[in-house]
Amino acid sequence: MIASIDGEILEIVGDSLVVGVGGVGLRVFCPAPLRDRVLKGEKIFLHTYLVVREDALSLYGFDSLEARDYFVMLLGVNGIGPRIALAILSVLSTDVIRRSVIYEQPEVFSRVPGVGNKTAQKIVLFLQGKMGGEKEIEPAFTDVEGEVIGALTSLGYSIVEAQAALQSIPRDAPQDVESRLRLALQYFST
């Protein structure tokens, strides 16, 4: 198994990076936040996971061991393949995933494109007890925040954009859905 690679980014192609290692260009599929912050020509170190299929060898890369471990855990869920696991890590941080599992919030996973309600429930059930951490951490989203994110995604914003808008809301803002939604929408007008 290829556990890590260290090289130069030769290309950024769709959902992957081509990393030059010892004269060979390796195509490595990466979460969107990682791809979005790197540039062609940069040196990069990735923790990797090799998926062997009958018709292909696919390499998946992550900037932390924790992200790679979450990817592997997600692959253990019945019905989750590498593409969906990567989509989950592209939309949700490892912290949000952990909180969503600990607080049994499958609706957070169902907001990821390609993840339905049943699959989201399977993820929560499968990962319970495997993540570490207890209920001393706060839930991924409160009910109000969940409703605001749901409203924003139904308006066509991605979950990443909705989360960014939610984070821009001042802490002392009113806690009702309407006020918080209005403030979140103001984020997009600036």
What pLDDT score was predicted for residue 156?
Answer: 81
CATH, domain 4-62, list 3.30.365.10, 3.30.1650.10, 3.10.129.10, 2.40.50.140: 2.40.50.140
CA distance 172 to 18: 45
CATH fold of 65-127: DNA polymerase; domain 1 (1.10.150)
What pLDDT score was predicted for residue 133?
Answer: 55
Is the CB of residue 7 less than 8 Å from the CB of residue 44? yes
What pLDDT score was predicted for residue 174?
Answer: 82
Domain ranges of the chain: 4-62, 65-127, 143-189
In the chain, DSSP assigns E strands to: 4-13, 16-21, 24-29, 43-52, 57-62
Taking only the tens place, the pLDDT of each residue in 21-78 is: 999 999 999 999 999 899 999 999 999 999 999 998 999 999 999 999 999 999 999 9
CATH fold of 143-189: Helicase, Ruva Protein; domain 3 (1.10.8)
Instruction: Read off the pLDDT band of 181 (50, 70, 90).
Output: confident
Q: Which residues pair with 7 in a beta bridge?
A: 44
Give one DSSP letter per residue of 118-131, joined into a string.
HHHHHHHHHHTTTS
Taking only the tens place, the pLDDT of each residue in 112-162 is: 888 999 999 999 999 987 776 555 455 556 677 778 877 887 788 877 777
What pLDDT score was predicted for residue 49?
Answer: 96
What pLDDT score was predicted for residue 149?
Answer: 79
What pLDDT score was predicted for residue 141?
Answer: 65
